[in-house]
Each structure stands twice: as C-alpha cells, then as structure tokens.
Structure 1
Amino acid sequence: MTPHHLIPLDPRLIDRDPGKPAVFGTVLSGDPQETFLNLYDDRGGRFACGVWQCTPGVVAMTDWPYDELCVLLAGRVVITPQGGSPTEHRQGDAFVIPKGFTGTWDIRETIRKHYAIQKHTGRAAAVKRLLKAPLRLMRSA
C-alpha cells in the first residue's frame, strides 16, 4: 500500500519563474505573462491542483476544458461570460469556472491563485479505466 502525504500548496514556489506569454486563451490586449506550478496530479489523470499567476491583460477563453475551482491569493480580475454580466474578483475570493466556459478575463492587477481542476475524460478512457479496475483488484488479492 502506498502511503498518503499532504501536499503543501505554497504560492511562493512560482516566484522564480518570470512567466511566458499567456496561452490559456486568445490575448485581446496587453501582454499577459503567465506561470504555473502543478503541485499535484492524481494517478488517474482526472484531478490536478497548484498555483498560477498572470500579469495584466485581456484574454478571451473559449470552451474551457475543465471544471476549475479558483481561490485568488492576490490581484484583481474582471471575468465576463459570453452573453453575461462582468464580475470582479479580488484577493480572498473563490469561484468556479465550469467546463465549457466562454468569455473574457480582464486582469487588472497581477493575479495569483490556487487552482484545482477536474479533468474530464472521454468515454473511451472511462471504459478503459473501468476495465482495468477488476484487474487491479485481482492482482492485489
């Protein structure tokens, strides 16, 4: 049996990385530079969490591929869903970006956040995982 350990989510771990041009969507204005550090991935490839940071700019996101919990550690961002109203988020705010989100992030002050994402796999991967489960149980018996 594999021991389980707590994994600290230390936001200072990304301080050494200067960042690179934002790739989480299409840059509409500014020069947003992002950096992240994935601190945990589960063995099944369905869950991950870590720390992410991005400098000011406006980015359009289309069909976000995850359900994501965000907890802002610093900064200010105005998020506007397509066809919806803008909402401003600041340090201490927590929110969820649902899978399929389309809209804009207007990062007004460099933001840093803890994130936790639920990755969705296709049916083929789900069937494969289900088929492997009985094999794992048989091997461990």
Structure 2
Amino acid sequence: MSVDHPTFVDLRIKASDNHLTGDAEPFGTGGRIAEIRAGACEVLAVTIAAGDGEAYEDRGDLWVLAQDGEILLTYAQQELILSPGTSAAISRGTTFRWRTERPVAMIGMRYLDAVEGTHGIFAIDNDAPLSPSNSPALDVLTSPVPSCRSNSMFRSTGDEFLCGIWDSTPYQRRAIYFQHCELMHLLEGEVTFTDESDRTATFSKGDTFIIEQGARCTWESYAHVKKIYAYFKSTK
C-alpha cells in the first residue's frame, strides 16, 4: 500500500518487497528499512544467516520479533532465546552477542529519538500478567465497552516508545485518527480494519502488521484478541 495514504500494512508481505532500502544494524547487512509512516521510528525487515556476532545498538531503542527461525541474544550474564512469535527490546547503547544455527527472519521497529538510558535486552513475555487498561473512548464505540488489559515491559526513557502485551474482549468502533503509530503481532483472535477509502483488511493469529501514523481506520473484533505491541506515541 502506498505510503502517500497512511493505513494498515501487512509486514510479512512488506518484508518480501525487493525495493526495501538501507541496512538494519546491529545485525549486519541482512536488514532493510521499509518505507512506512512511523513518526520518529523506522520499521525493519531483517534476515540473519546462520552464525554469530557481537553487536552494538547505537541508532535508538530497538524492538525485534522473530518471524521464522530462532536466535539467541546474550547481554552480560543474561541469555534470551527468541523463537517465532516472541520479541524483545534492546535499549540504545547496548552491546550484546547473537547466535543462530539456521537463518532467521525478524521484524523490527526502532525509536530513533531515544535517549540513552538503562542498557540491556528486555524480554516481552507473551504470558506476562496483565493489568486493567483504558478502553476506547465512549464516543467512538459502536458496541458495548470492552474489558482491556496490558503490560508495557519496555518503555523508552521519555515514554514515547512502549513495547508489551495487550488483550481485549470483542468490540467495534468508528474510524479514528492515528496520531501515534502501532506495530502489532496477533497472539490470539482476529481484527478487521477499514480505512477512509473503504479498503478493508483482516488480520488473524500469527499476523504482524502496522497502523501507520496519520491513518484513519475502524476496528472490528468479535472474539478475544491478544497482541504484542510496539507503540510510538507522538508528542507533537
């Protein structure tokens, strides 16, 4: 979908686009940057060959999701294995090692304006306990108020970039304007979006997608939804 019209983008399809550009350090030359409206963030498609290496994340706070394959990340005495459908955040200024026995495909989102804070690798636990969180505003809902829960397991120093887990009972709402930008990986359920041009897309368990900054779209879910999120909150 054209970046001239902000909307929802299927990132597994986008990752196969031969026109992606640039590199996706800190994992060497196997990464590319997608042309996506993501505010102060960049979205990455990363392919890593079997092997190992030392890396330094100096461009920002980086969230990565394993799509295919398995990778071991090591920081100090901490070891974290990412398998398909699991993710972690790597804070700016962190030096770490990685190792993989077979090629790995990952999706990433990097907050470029991150202020260097506590170094480390922060696991986003898919089974972490969740606490009640705000539901959509009453004036946009077209269904009963849902019950929503979340757990932000990584926050940038200024809270502009958050990564964690969210779930909700079913709900439907009218189109809203996304001043922010949110990348999602569905762990459970199914969601349908419709944008202001009446384009519609449905994403299901296992799908990874992003709502671009500036999009206007609806939300329709008719079953329990649980997702991993990487969320850029614009302050402008």
TM-score > 0.5 by shorter chain: yes
Q: 1:23 maps to what in 2?
A: 136
Please tell me the residue identity of whatever aligns with 1:104.
T
Residues 79-99 of structure 1 deviation map (CA, whole Å, 9 limit, x = unaligned): 111222221110000111112
CA contact (8 A) 1:74 1:111 kept: yes
Q: 1:85 maps to what in 2?
A: 199
Residue 5 of structure 1, aligned match among 110, 116, 120 = 120
Which sits farther off after the overlay, 52-61 or 71-80?
A: 52-61
Shift of 1:20: 5.9
Shift of 1:56: 0.8
Residue 168 of structure 2, aligned match among 40, 54, 59 = 54
Q: 2:222 maps to what in 1?
A: 108
Gaps of 5+ in 1: 123-141
Residues 105-127 of structure 1 deviation map (CA, whole Å, 9 limit, x = unaligned): 111211111110123233xxxxx
TM-score between both structures, scaled by the size of structure 1: 0.73
Please tell me the residue identity of whatever aligns with 2:121.
L
- After superposition, the Cα gap between the structure-2 partners of 1:45 and 1:108, relative to the gap in structure 1 and judged at 3 Å, is same
Partners of 2:189 and 2:119 in 1: CA distance: 33
Matched-pair identity in %: 25
Partners of 2:230 and 2:179 in 1: CA distance: 13
> What is the root-mean-square deviation of aligned Cα atoms in Å?
2.3
Gaps of 5+ in 2: 1-92, 94-116
- After superposition, the Cα gap between the structure-2 partners of 1:24 and 1:40, relative to the gap in structure 1 and judged at 3 Å, is farther
Asked which structure has the greater RCO (Cα within 8 Å, sep 6+), the reply is 1
- After superposition, the Cα gap between the structure-2 partners of 1:93 and 1:9, relative to the gap in structure 1 and judged at 3 Å, is same
After the TM superposition, which parts of structure 1 deviate over 3 Å for at least 4 consecutive aligned residues?
Answer: none
SS in 2 for 1:77: strand
TM-score between both structures, scaled by the size of structure 2: 0.46
Partners of 1:6 and 1:90 in 2: CA distance: 28
Q: 1:40 maps to what in 2?
A: 154
Greater percentage in helix: 1
